[in-house]
Structure 1
Amino acid sequence: MTDDSPSAEPPASRTPPAVAVVDAQSPGNVGTIARAMKNFGFEDLLLVDPPELDPDGEAYGFAGHAREDVLPNADEISFDHLVENYHTIGCTAVTNEDDNSHVRFPYSTPADLADRLPTVEAPTALVFGRERVGLTNEELARIDEICSIPANADYPVLNLGQAATITLYELRSLTLDETQLPDVERVRAPEPTVDRLYDQWSDLLEELNHPAEKHDKTMRMVRRVFGRADVTEREANTLLGILRRATERPAEDSDSV
């Protein structure tokens, strides 16, 4: 880690935000947060009053591949430096229910932040607090805005590592152009193939003597079902073969009588 320096200045703007952890008690939680950052494309880890991070200890053990870059490149800074140099978003499970107190109200959800943070022209930091008490009211009073994860009202408090992981997952659109999951729009069957699938369904309905007055309504249902399914080209071709065989079968049976 590098020491906080009065001369150190953050960049003029930053998207995605940095991740700041205030006074974490467990090195393992710091490692878990670093790993979540690596999972979802975040790079800048800021530590306020961190525990000892032994390269042979829990933090590096829990960090996975983040032990190679995110964790060793973390910056140790003061809370004063954090709030003076970043647009800060304090993450807390406990919020006020109305506007009688502005310390924990109003607040955004992580999904809200994903839509809005790209427009913030300032270096930004997501701020997570301690394992047991989170961020204090005094700290939250110095933070620019509040974020909270929707959870069970009877038990909304999450583990520090869990809270950071969920928040970073929701904000992954700020960092990742692609994930390991395929893009549905790219694998969907070409429209001419899907249109042939609809034509084959229409032919089958006619061959089965489906009531003519119900034909259009049934085809609308078929289109909506396959529209939601985003069938791949292989799936569409397989279904085309089955439907073609089903359409031809009644004619074959008729010829054999």
Structure 2
Amino acid sequence: MSEGDVNDGEDARDADDADDGGDAGESAGNSTRRKPVVVVVEPETPGNVGTIARAMKNFGLSDLKLVDPPELDEDGEAYGFAGHAREDVLPNADEVTFDEVVESYHTVGTTAITGEDDRSHERWPFKTPVELRESLADVDAPTAIVFGREGRGLNNDELSRLDEVCSIPAADDYPVLNLGQAATVILYELRDLTVEETQLPDTAVTRAPETDVERLHELFGDFLEATGQREHRREKNALLLRRLLGRAHPTEREVHSLLGTVRKATTKLEHADYLAAKHDEPAYPRE
């Protein structure tokens, strides 16, 4: 881990010369927006530093800055918890001072405990992670997301020197998350600003061809008729299925599976009617 100024002697406010994260000039999507740096103030547990580094790697960030960190042994917890971030994010982390962060970045402090109203200026107003993402979406500025200590977080004096406050909504009786968990949640919510492409396909569902869906509706109508339901009930149930499939966006395979099942069920009902008539026996109970 290297020790040095946040900006390596440059003015981080200068968009052309700032060293505000190594990837400062890289983009998320087609934007030229600079990616935030992540700052951890006086972390006590090396494992949490490794967890944060891993979350950064997961969500497209690379610039980690540490204020008074513990010793990060390459054979210790930090590197053990970092996953592939042990190859770049963690060994390239900078040791900085809190003053350097405040002077060089637009800062967002994180806290679990917020003020109840504007009488507590240090912790009020605050944004949720989603609101923070929305507020940063149209802004290009060197930005630092600042996390505090495991046990105490950022104190009021520190928060009062930061520009914004972010807090994760959680259960009122236990709102305090583990440091690594909190960082993971916030970085996940900022992913639209930091990740160019995920492992997920462009679309989660490809809806079946409408001709297949309509064929299913036709067969379902035949099935309802074979059950012996009264016409008004059949019409109602047919409409319910149409609305259900309209919301569900079934895939081609799902529709084909249902087509086969409904077709077989209809055939069995029709055969039962045929046998009942042939042997002059009562048909199965109808409405």
TM-score, normalised with respect to structure 1? 0.88
| Contact 1:14 1:123 survives alignment (8 Å) | no
1:7 maps to which of 3, 6, 10:
10
Q: Which structure 2 residues correspond to residues 100-111 of structure 1 after superposition, within 5 A?
A: 100-111=119-130
Distance in 1, matches of 2:221 and 2:202, equals 29
Q: Indicate the residue corresponding to 2:224 in structure 1.
A: 205
Distance in 2, matches of 1:179 and 1:235, equals 26
| Contact 2:51 2:78 survives alignment (8 Å) | yes
168-177 or 124-133, which deviates more: 168-177
| Contact 1:15 1:174 survives alignment (8 Å) | no
Q: Indicate the residue corresponding to 2:48 in structure 1.
A: 29
Higher relative contact order, chain-length normalized (CA < 8 Å, sep 6+): 1
TM-score, normalised with respect to structure 2? 0.79
1:164 Cα shift?
0.9
220-229 or 71-80, which deviates more: 220-229
Q: 1:122–1:187: structure 2 CA closer, same or farther, 3 Å change rule? A: same
Distance in 2, matches of 1:181 and 1:205, equals 39
Distance in 1, matches of 2:35 and 2:228, equals 59
Which ranges in structure 2 are unaligned for 5 or more consecutive residues?
12-17, 26-31, 279-287
Which ranges in structure 1 are unaligned for 5 or more consecutive residues?
none
Higher helix share: 1
Say how many residue pairs are matched: 257
Distance in 1, matches of 2:67 and 2:207, equals 47
Q: Indicate the residue corresponding to 2:106 in structure 1.
A: 87
RMSD over aligned Cα, in angstroms? 2.4
Distance in 2, matches of 1:184 and 1:210, equals 39
Larger radius of gyration: 2
Flag as ranges the 4+ runs of structure 1 deviating above 6 A. none
Q: Indicate the residue corresponding to 2:185 in structure 1.
A: 166
Identical residues among aligned pairs (%): 58
1:158-208 Cα offsets, whole Å, 9 max, x none, are 111111122222233333455445565444434433333333323322332
1:126 Cα shift?
1.5
| Partner SS, residue 121 of structure 2 | coil
Q: Which structure 2 residues correspond to residues 153-232 of structure 1 after superposition, within 5 A?
A: 153-176=172-195, 179-180=198-199, 185-232=204-251
81-90 or 183-192, which deviates more: 183-192
